[in-house]
Each structure stands twice: as C-alpha cells, then as structure tokens.
Amino acid sequence: MVQASFYSVLFIVLCGYAESCIPHSITVDVPEEIPPGYVVCKVNLEQCGTEELLVATSDPDFKVQVDGTVTASRFTRVPLRGRTFMILVQDGTSLNRVVEVILTHKAGKVSNNGVLRRSKRRWSPLPFLIRENDKPPFPKDVEIVGSDSSVNYTVYYVISGPGVTEDPVDLFSINPKTGMVRVNRPVDREQYSQIIFQVRAYNEQNRFETDRPLYITVNVQDENDNAPEFTGPMDFSVLEQSNAGTQVGIINATDRDDPTTIHTKIRHKILNNQNIFSIDPRSGMLSTATTVLDREAQAVHFVPLEIRDMDGDPKGLFSTATATVTLLDINDNPPVFSSTSYKASIDENAADVMVLRLPVDDKDLVNTPNWRAQYFITKGNETGNFRIDTDPKTNEGLLRVVKPFDYEKTKNAKLEVTAQNEAKLEGTNAKWATVPVDLTVRDVDEGPEFRPQNLVISVKEDVPKGTSIGTYTAIDPDTDTSKGIRYYKQSDPALWTEIVEATGEIRTTGTLDREATFVKNGTYNVTVKAIDETKKSSTGTITLRIEDVNDNVPEVIKKDLILCETNQKLGTAIVEAQDRDGPPFSAPFTFQLGSADGKWQLTDIKNTSAVLVPAQDLPKGQYEVPLTIKDLQGQGKEQTVNVKICHCVKEACSSQDSSRVLGRLGFLALLLPLLLLALLALLLMFTCTTKKDKILMDDASGGMLLKSNTEGPGDEVSAGIVPSSVVDGSLKGSHVGKTNGTLQPTWTQSLGAGAGAGAGVGAGVGTGIYSNSGVLKEEMDQLDYAGQFNLHTWKTNGRFLDQKLTYFFTEDEDRYANDLLRTYGYEGQGSLAGSVGCCSEMGDDQGLGFLDSLGPKFRTLADVCTKK
C-alpha cells in the first residue's frame, strides 16, 4: 500500500481535477513471475473522446500503449502482498487522468487472459488543491478521505508528516470520524508549493490498522502575489553616433510565482517616448533607436524601464528601474583655435624664446587621443627659425624662435599653424583648423659682426717672422661699416700671430710648424675679438691652413730590433720609418745600406718599411747596421739600427738563451775555469809547503811535476803546471806556442803587472803569491836561471788565471755570461735549466748547438781545449 501510494502521489502532482472518463483503479490477478511482453490488462480509453491521447506508466517495469494495453517491459516479480502502479492519461485539453493498477496473485494461480476486472473502490483520492494566501475564516474544509475498511469496521483516521507533525506544523488537520481534511491557516506557495502527508485508518475497538497507509498530496494553487524583479547590471555603454539598432545590453528580470503560469510571463517596456532607445518586450534587449547620439551634447542617458507580469496585462504586477547608458567618445570634434589670427613680436638675435601661446578648444573627452592636440607650422618656416610644441596641461600650442632673426635681413615673418589630434577624425565632415600668425622682428643695437664668421687663410709653414698673412675685419650691422671697431687677439695657443688693433691685419710672430702639436689636420685656429665704440663685441675665428714644406727627413721608428732564431731558422727584422711631413714630402721612402761589410741586405722594400736580413751566417750577438733613408724628394740621412740576433721565446729573446743543454765542446769550455781554479789551489799548497832550498828544478821545461819538501815524514806534494799562454789583457787571440815539440812560454808582461791585474779571487791569489816581501826577494836573488824560469812560469799562470777570472765576472754578448756566481736563493730569470745553470744538465748527452754561435773568441778557446 505504501508503494502504491508513493506512485500515486508522483503522478497526481501533475494532474488537475476533472470528471473521469476512465476507472480510478483496476485490480488484476497476475502470476507471481511475469515474463517480458506479458499482457497485464487493457484500459478502455474510448470514453475519453477521439482526440490524441498521451499515456504513460509510473513503473518502468510496465509500459502502456495508446490503445490502453498494459504489458510487462521486462521480467518482473509480484510479491504476495501485491503491487501497484499508475497509468497517466492526458488528452488534448491538457486534462490529466490517473488509473491505479493493482496487481495481485494467488499461489499457484496463473492468469494471462488480460481480461479487465473491476474491484471494489479503495480510498485513493486525487490530489487536493488549496489556494495560497486564502482569506479567513479558518479552518476550511479541503476534502474527505475514506477507507474501504470502514464497511467492515468502525474506523478513525490519523494524519502525520509535513503540514501536520512536520513543517509547516499544524497546517492541516482531519476529523477522525468523518475523514474531512481541513486547512487551518493561509499558506505561501513560494514557500510550500506542494505538501504530502500520510493518512492511516484504525479500528476503534482494538486500535488495529485496518488498511494500508495512504499518502495525500496537497498542491498549493498559485496566486499572482509577486511582482517581477530586475536582476543583473543596469549600467551600459555604447559609442556615440552608433547606427540605429546597435545592441546596448540585456535587461534581466525574474518572478517568484509559478513558472508554469502566466503569472511569470514578463514584458519589458521603456516608460518615456524619446525614441532614443528601444527594448525587446520579451528578451529585454536594449538597443539604440537613433543615429544622432552625441556625447558632447549628452554624455549619459538614463532610461526608465518597466517590467510587468501577466504578459503585460494592466492588472499584472510590475516593477520599475532606470538603466544608465554612457556614450563612449569618438574623435568627431577637431580642435578649434580661440582666435582667427594671432600677432607677436621678437627682438632680433633672440633665440630659444617662446613668443606666443595658441589656445584651442576641443569638445572631445579630455586627456584622450581625441582631445590632445598636435601643432604643425605649414607655411613660413622654410628657414627653420621656429618650433612649435604642445603644452600637456593646457593643450595650447607653444610657438618658439630657435634660430635668431637679423632685423637688417628679416623684419617680418608670416606663419600658418595647423592644429590636429593624435587620433583621426571620424563621424564628422569637419577639417583640421588652420590659423595665420604674424611675427614682427624688432631692431636692437647690435655689436660688430665678423664677415665671414670663420676666415680661412693659407700660409706656408716656413714664412719669416713678421710676415703679413691677411686681414680680418668686422662690420657694424647698423652702419654696415668697420668704423670705430678695435681688434684684439683672444686665443692663440702657440703665440704664432699678432693682430693690428686698428686695422685687423694679421702678422706672424713665430715660425709656423705644421708638425707641431697645436696643428690639427694641417689647420691652426686663432680667435679674434672685435669691440665697437659702444663696447659691444663679437668674436670670429681665423683658421690658418698651414701648407707643408719638406723640413723633416724620414726617421726610423724603432732602432732596436730583434732577429729571432726559431727551430734553427733565422727570422727577419722589419725596419719602419716615418716622416712628419705630408705628401709629396714623405713616403714612399728609399732604403739603402751603409757600410755593413756585406753582412746584411734589404728585401721587400715598401712605402715606409724594409725587411733587414743577414747576408751570411752570423752568430748570436749585437750588431750595428747603418742605413740611409730618403723621402720622395730625395732628402734623408744615415741612421744606425741595432740588431740583436738571439734565440727567442714568444718573439722575445730568452734571458737564459745560453743555458740550454751543453755539448762536448761547451762542457769542456765550462769546466775550464773550474780546472784553472783547482790548479791555482794546488799552486798555493805547493808554495806554502815547499822550502826555499827545494824550489830549484832540474830543468826548465815548465810542464813538469815538481817535487817539494813535506811537512810530515813520508808526505810528498806534487803540483801540475798549466801550459803558459800569451795574455794580452783581454784573452783575445791567446795561444800556446810550440818549439821543437816542446811547449815554450812567451812573456808579455812583468811580474808586477801580473800580480795586480786580477780582481776578486784572482787578485787575492796574485797578491798572496807575489807579495813584495823582503824574505822572498832575498831568496829569489839566490835562484839560478832554471829556478827563475819556473818562477816566471808560475807568474805567467797566475796572470792568466787572474785575467780569466776577471773575464768570467763580466757581462758580454759573446760568452756564457749567465753562469756567474750568484747569491744564495737566486733562481735565475727565464733559465731553461733552473738555478743550477749549465751544470744541472752535465749528464745529458745532447749536443750543444748554441756553442756554434758563441762567436770567434769562444770558438778559439774551444779549439785550444780540444787539441790533442
């Protein structure tokens, strides 16, 4: 019963009350299991007329055809307590009718005859209707409900649910005896449009429920008690001068009444009749109705609107509001000058001066491109004396003179000025405005004026002192003469000129030098000041264009050159020259070698340079090469270029160029000073430990071992004597002479000279051995010729060692000067072999190629040391 009542309520909501042409309910016996397509029953619809009917069921397990036949749409089970659903019938008059179909079955009984069987009427009333906002008195009777069980029992009725025990509480009540449902107060449909409550029937005797519960649906009938309301924005905008029919915006409205009734059918209306705007009555679209909307005449329009329900019926409820339409600006108004013409005046010689303001009026929106003005001088400014700008605050035109006027040349200027906007004109046939401007130039007392302002004078640079090179005068513009004007020199950096005060004559006071630093690009400027009788002044410039003469010869730019040897290949040295004179007194130059003994030659001679290369194999060292360089006119002089031949590292001479790995000859050459020092030490020991009676020798060979006395028993000291050689003070050309296969000493200096010629260690040794002692002299007088010969041999050796040590303590390009004694911690500069010098790589068997270029002096010494 609960399920059947629920479906009944669902369909009754859509139905209105009308006399029935079909039964209110049908009871059909069906099997417990109903297959798809099973014909349940057929409702007779012929009594409802011949108009087209719409039929439907509330249960998706069943479907109804237009002729009223009800069939199962899918497999369905019917419980023992039965099953109920509704059939809704709607005709062409929109009247709704409902048939309640009650399915029952008995166990084991199957019926599929589809015969329509009527049963006794059960309590199943149509939905009740009440009016909203009903007038008193209350309570008011609504409808009677009754149960079929009242035939067999004395029953009473109880209601519950919404409208009774739930909100809205106590809206409805029921007479428990008669089943009359009553409404107790007015109800608002907008708050409660439909209320469904439950009715139960009980036996008065034992309070047993005699029937299944029934759900009662109460529909609240709408009353037009709500006026339509405006919703959404009411502010709109549209361009001025838009075409008629241009959409402005939609006016939205709503109504709280029943949307299925005419109570919510709204019509829109404009209350005034100005024919400026129009509105669609149903959609509410607001549009323009004219093409003459002018923002400058009226920028904002207020449109009064009315919305009325009941489809605009005069009895319908309505609301009013005002829509605001703002017109957007277009540039339909050009700027207009406040006056038809303008006049102004200005002093001559005045510059960067504002002479006039040109105000304009523009009706367009302020501070927009439609309003901001731009000014143009369309006539009269061919000489560029004027400029016109826009004042950003006032929008006025500011006329300025940027180039001064000369009254004597121009007394009046006539201009034509046009004003435009930043934006283009639209929506109008107007043109840009133009106004004439008449400018008068006022005469003022002017100072003198140099004509020309810059005087150019050509003069040779070797003109004598006091030479008149020209005249520079000024003119009074008012009198057009030079009367009463005095001239003074204002600027002369080199003090080369003077100007005669009364006449403006220019004379030289010094020798003009085109190559001086004061001269730029062959020109020299002198500034002259002219002062008239009224103390007014002006300045002018004299530009001396100094003509060149051939007073300079080519000079070598860099006289110290380096000739690099890289990978056993000798490079080239480039000799570059420059001549301070200009063409034709300078390049191209002529290069010639001086007295160079055929060692050098010039190649690849260009305008200002030549390549210097050795003409033969030259050893490393410093060379002076004489060159004669002449300019195009044949003037020049001989100059000396210093060329250094060396081994280079990164295009620079290596500071340790001689510290490379030594070959056999170099190794012997470096060991020679050490051997000499060792021999000197042996001589000292021999001198100190040998008695005078043992100095005499058996022969005078000079190359024998001497036997000396010993200071201790059994000790014997031997000393080797180095071969004597010719010493000339610089060790140049030293040699050992041979006579009959025996070494013979050659004497060139005395004992005293040999003792005092050394320095450093050598000097000390000479002094210690050959001191002027009386004892030694007395003993030397007793020596025979053989002893004197040996003593002289030692003196010669000492002299040789002194000079050799002195030589090794000097710097020279032709020897290995970098292997000098150094203080502790000296690491060398650029040495490839480190701080140890040449001795650090004695174990290396590599050849010493650098010894081949040490020069003839060292080669001679190497040859002496290697002779067998």
Average pLDDT over residues 475-479: 79
pLDDT exceeding 70 applies to what percent of the chain? 72
User: Which is higher by pLDDT, 661 or 521?
Assistant: 521
Average pLDDT over residues 341-364: 93
Q: pLDDT-derived band of residue 856, with 50, 70 and 90 as boundaries?
A: low
* Cβ proximity of 505 and 468 under 8 Å: yes
Question: Mean pLDDT score of the chain, rounded to an integer?
Answer: 77
- Confidence (pLDDT) at 378: 94
Cα gap 302→320, rounded to integer Å:
13
Per-residue pLDDT for 8 more than 80?
Answer: no
> Which of these, 112, 117, 121, 33, lies nearest to 80 by C-alpha position?
33
Cα gap 765→719, rounded to integer Å:
16
pLDDT digits (tens, 9 = 90+) for 80-111: 878 898 888 877 665 677 888 888 876 544 44
Q: pLDDT-derived band of residue 421, with 50, 70 and 90 as boundaries?
A: very high
Q: What is the CATH number of domain 149-221?
A: 2.60.40.60
pLDDT digits (tens, 9 = 90+) for 760-805: 333 333 333 333 434 444 444 444 444 555 555 667 777 768 776 7
- Virtual torsion, Cα 140, 145, 150, 153, nearest 10 deg: -70
Q: What is the pTM of this model?
A: 0.43
- Confidence (pLDDT) at 751: 36
* For residue 168, cis peptide bond before it (omega within 30 degrees of 0): yes
User: Which is higher by pLDDT, 780 or 252?
Assistant: 252
Give the residue range(s) of CATH 2.60.40.60 domains in the chain: 2-104, 149-221, 229-328, 336-442, 449-547, 555-653
**Segment among 150-164, 391-405, 494-508, 607-621 with least mean pLDDT:** 607-621
Per-residue pLDDT for 454 more than 50?
Answer: yes
Average pLDDT over residues 614-630: 86
Per-residue pLDDT for 271 more than 50?
Answer: yes
Average pLDDT over residues 665-690: 70
User: Which is higher by pLDDT, 623 or 46?
Assistant: 623
63 beta partners: 71
User: Which is higher by pLDDT, 403 or 582?
Assistant: 403
- Confidence (pLDDT) at 465: 87
Per-residue pLDDT for 507 more than 80?
Answer: yes
Q: Long-range contacts for 151-155 (Cβ within 8 Å, ≥24 apart)?
A: 152/210, 153/203, 153/204, 153/205, 153/210, 154/203, 154/204, 154/205, 155/201, 155/202, 155/203, 155/204, 155/210, 155/211
In order of 285, 287, 364, 448, the CA distances from 290 in angstroms are 16, 9, 21, 72
- Confidence (pLDDT) at 848: 59
- Confidence (pLDDT) at 121: 42
Average pLDDT over residues 613-618: 83
**Segment among 94-103, 167-176, 414-423, 456-465 with least mean pLDDT:** 94-103
User: Which is higher by pLDDT, 528 or 680?
Assistant: 528
Q: Would you call 455 helix, strand, or coil by DSSP?
A: strand
Q: pLDDT-derived band of residue 550, with 50, 70 and 90 as boundaries?
A: confident
- Confidence (pLDDT) at 713: 47
> Which of these, 155, 159, 162, lies nearest to 178 by C-alpha position?
155
- Confidence (pLDDT) at 808: 60
Cα gap 749→727, rounded to integer Å:
8
Which one is the CATH code of 229-328: 3.30.1360.70, 3.30.70.580, 1.10.10.10, 2.60.40.60? 2.60.40.60
User: Which is higher by pLDDT, 732 or 441?
Assistant: 441
- Confidence (pLDDT) at 526: 93
Cα gap 583→172, rounded to integer Å:
129
Handedness of CA 542, 545, 551, 553 (dihedral sign): positive
Q: Which CATH class is domain 555-653?
A: mainly beta
- Confidence (pLDDT) at 68: 81
Per-residue pLDDT for 396 more than 70?
Answer: yes
- Confidence (pLDDT) at 462: 81
Average pLDDT over residues 167-180: 93
Q: pLDDT-derived band of residue 112, with 50, 70 and 90 as boundaries?
A: very low
Q: pLDDT-derived band of residue 47, with 50, 70 and 90 as boundaries?
A: low
Superfamily of 449-547 according to CATH: Cadherins (2.60.40.60)
The 3-state secondary structure of 180-203, one letter per residue = EEEECCCCCCCCCCEEEEEEEEEE
Average pLDDT over residues 812-838: 48
User: Which is higher by pLDDT, 810 or 50?
Assistant: 810
Per-residue pLDDT for 813 more than 60?
Answer: no
Average pLDDT over residues 271-292: 91
Per-residue pLDDT for 267 more than 90?
Answer: yes
User: Which is higher by pLDDT, 621 or 762?
Assistant: 621
Q: pLDDT-derived band of residue 596, with 50, 70 and 90 as boundaries?
A: low
* Cβ proximity of 305 and 251 under 8 Å: yes
* Cβ proximity of 42 and 70 under 8 Å: yes
Q: Which CATH class is domain 2-104?
A: mainly beta
DSSP state of 148: G
Per-residue pLDDT for 215 more than 80?
Answer: yes
pLDDT digits (tens, 9 = 90+) for 34-43: 888 788 888 8
* Cβ proximity of 434 and 378 under 8 Å: yes
- Confidence (pLDDT) at 670: 64
**Segment among 232-236, 284-288, 315-319, 767-771 with least mean pLDDT:** 767-771
- Confidence (pLDDT) at 821: 53
Cα gap 374→483, rounded to integer Å:
49
**Segment among 131-145, 287-301, 578-592, 685-699 with least mean pLDDT:** 685-699
Per-residue pLDDT for 618 more than 90?
Answer: no
In order of 219, 314, 319, 612, 700, the CA distances from 226 in angstroms are 18, 15, 10, 118, 159
Per-residue pLDDT for 497 more than 70?
Answer: yes
Q: Which CATH architecture has domain 336-442?
A: Sandwich (2.60)
Per-residue pLDDT for 733 more than 50?
Answer: no
Q: pLDDT-derived band of residue 745, with 50, 70 and 90 as boundaries?
A: very low
**Segment among 17-26, 192-201, 225-234, 347-356 with least mean pLDDT:** 17-26
